[in-house]
Homo-oligomer: A and B are copies of this chain.
Amino acid sequence: MTHIAENKRIGVIGGAQADRASLEAAARVGRLIAEAEAVLVCGGLGGVMEAAARGAKAAGGLTVGILPGSSPSDANPFIDVPIATGLGYTRNSLVAMNADALIAIDGEYGTLSEIAYGIILGKKVIGLATWGIRGIVPADSPEEAVRLALQPESPSQGGRDGKSSR
**A contact residues vs B (CB 8 Å cutoff):** 1, 4-5, 9, 39, 62, 64, 66, 70, 72, 75, 77, 79-90, 92-94, 97-98, 108-110, 112-113, 115-117, 119-121, 130-133, 135, 160, 162-163, 165-166
A1, A79, A86, A115, most chain B CB atoms within 10 A: A86
Main secondary structure, interface of A, reads: mixed
A79, A83, A112, most chain B CB atoms within 10 A: A112
Which of the residues B66, B110, B116, B162 comes within 8 Å of A83, measured between beta carbons? B66
- Knowing A87-B87, A89-B93, A130-B166 are in contact, say whether A116-B110 is a contact too (CB < 8 A): yes
Give Cα distance in the complex from A109 to B165, angstroms. Answer: 9
B108 and A113: CB pair below 8 A?
no
A108 and B5: CB pair below 8 A?
no
Closest chain B residue to A93 by CB distance? B90
Closest chain B residue to A7 by CB distance? B80
Give Cα distance in the complex from A165 to B135, angstroms. Answer: 18
A109 and B98: CB pair below 8 A?
no
Give Cα distance in the complex from A109 to B96, angstroms. Answer: 13
Give Cα distance in the complex from A108 to B79, angstroms. Answer: 33
A87 and B90: CB pair below 8 A?
yes
A131 and B86: CB pair below 8 A?
no
